[in-house]
A = this chain, B = another copy of it.
Amino acid sequence: LLTKTQTRTTKQRKIILDELCKVKTHPTVDEVYDIVRKRLPRISLGTIYRNLEMLAEQGKIKKLEIDNQRMRFDGNTDAHSHIRCIICSSVDDIEIEPKVIWEEDSLESGYQILGNKVEFFGKCPKCRMREPE
Contacts and interface: CB of A to CB of B under 8 A. Distances in A.
Contacts of A118: 100, 116-119
A106 B96 contact: yes
Contact of A119 (B69, B94, B116, B133): B116
Contact of A112 (B64, B69, B128): B128
Interface string A120-133: 11111100100001
A101 B102 contact: no
Give the size category of A's interface with B: 35 or more
Given A68-B64, A115-B122, A97 B92 contact: no
A71 interface: yes
A78 interface: no
A69 B100 CA distance: 27
Contacts of A128: 110, 112
Interface of A: 63-72, 83, 85-86, 92, 94-103, 106, 108-125, 128, 133
